[in-house]
Amino acid sequence: MTALKNDRFLRALLKQPVDVTPVWMMRQAGRYLPEYRASRAKAGDFMSLCMNPQFACEVTMQPLDRYPQLDAAILFSDILTIPDAMGQGLYFETGEGPRFKKVVSTLADIEALPIPDPQKDLGYVMDAVSTIRRELNGRVPLIGFSGSPWTLATYMVEGGSSKDFRKTKAMLYDNPQAMHLLLDKLAQSVTSYLNGQILAGAQAVQIFDTWGGNLSAAAYQEFSLAYMRKIVSGLIREHEGRKVPVILFTKNGGLWLESIADAGADALGLDWTCDIGNARERVGHKVALQGNMDPTVLYAKPEAIRAEVGRILASYGSGSGHVFNLGHGITPEVDPEHAGAFLRAVHELSAQYHQ
């Protein structure tokens, strides 16, 4: 494989020295870019975009071509590929988000779920990873990803998105045996899926625990973090002669940073409700930190965006171990020029912290 020309993202995740704070954006290949919307129209729909390795490569590269400041590419895919490969029948309703043709509601439903084979059942994702990696040609590292078991379970039990997770939480409390079986199957599936991505060329991986923060403190430990810990312990941590960093991101997980930092990952993603300086004091000796600007700051004028970038950099302070990102994904209505101002500000303002 081609040597990396820019490895500051990987170096920062391992708390090694860098020249500037590396930056990427969750959902950086997405609807805020006109070129993405054109590719999606050409593909026909979102799933056709995901399931065609050439289209997935095309949209993964688009933000890199527009913003030379980006220090990483992230695989273009969806967190719900695993439940789809388990036979749940993923589809997207306009204005409604992801839906499943089948829902999981009983122990028998869960027992019948297969554990997908990454090559046979999710080969289109592995093909996309290897295609993107070749196209990158060492430009920046490639991030692979998956949803967390708890997050995937909520979609499978609810049949789609949910505001209150009533069915999932009812199962958790009424039938914890069934919920644990579902989460265990998902943990096995995520482990093999991420390892497949690493073998196909992903150089770092992130687990998106989007809905873990909706649990109580006790339920989070038992039904979300325990399974992410299990995944981390089963991941390939070195490939192609270098370490493969692992990032855990629990949205609204700021209360539990110490527990998450003990899960064995190299870095924690922070949402915007955390103060990054306080997070560094709490766990920064154990892990790198990724984040954490409020995505809606990108609606403001470039000078206001720059000021907020400066505030977050100052809060983190000097030294490596920080990957700048948004506290969640970039939103579709953001002006691409504002995203560019954000990325430029990170590199321009962070050099002073790496003398």
Please say whether the dihedral angle defined by the alpha carbons of residues 272, 139, 20 and 318, taken in this order, is positive or negative: positive
Residue 353, annotated ligand binder?
no
| Exposed/middle/buried for residue 176 (C-beta within 10 Å: 0-12, 13-18, 19+) | middle
Place of tokens 């297969």: 114
Residue 242, annotated ligand binder?
no
Q: Which of 186, 269, 214, 195 shows the shortest CA–CA distance to 13?
A: 269
Residue 28, annotated ligand binder?
yes
Catalytic residue (choose from 27, 133, 229, 280): 27
Residue 210, annotated ligand binder?
yes
**CA dist., res. 165 & res. 195, Å (int):** 29
Is there a catalytic annotation at residue 32?
Answer: no
Residue 78, annotated ligand binder?
yes
Residue 229, annotated ligand binder?
no
Catalytic residue (choose from 7, 71, 78, 266): 78
| Exposed/middle/buried for residue 213 (C-beta within 10 Å: 0-12, 13-18, 19+) | middle
**CA dist., res. 9 & res. 12, Å (int):** 5
Residue 31, annotated ligand binder?
yes
Sheet holding 288-293, edge to edge: 73-74, 142-147, 204-209, 246-250, 267-269, 288-293, 322-326
Catalytic residue (choose from 37, 40, 66, 139): 40
**CA dist., res. 332 & res. 179, Å (int):** 34
- Which pair of structure tokens corresponds to residue 335? 């002006």
Is there a catalytic annotation at residue 71?
Answer: no
Residue 262, annotated ligand binder?
no
Q: How large is the C-alpha radius of gyration of the chain?
A: 19
Question: Could you tell me if 174 and 105 are in contact, meaning their C-beta atoms sit under 8 angstroms apart?
Answer: no
Is there a catalytic annotation at residue 133?
Answer: no
Is there a catalytic annotation at residue 11?
Answer: no
**CA dist., res. 174 & res. 349, Å (int):** 52
Helices 123-136, 176-200: axis angle to 10 degrees equals 40
Catalytic residue (choose from 32, 36, 155, 193): 155
Please tell me whether residue 93 adopts helix, strand or coil conformation: strand
Is there a catalytic annotation at residue 127?
Answer: no
Indicate the annotated binding residues: 27-31, 78, 155, 210, 328
**Which are the catalytic amino acids?**
27, 31, 40, 78, 155
Indicate the annotated binding residues for substrate: 27-31, 78, 155, 210, 328
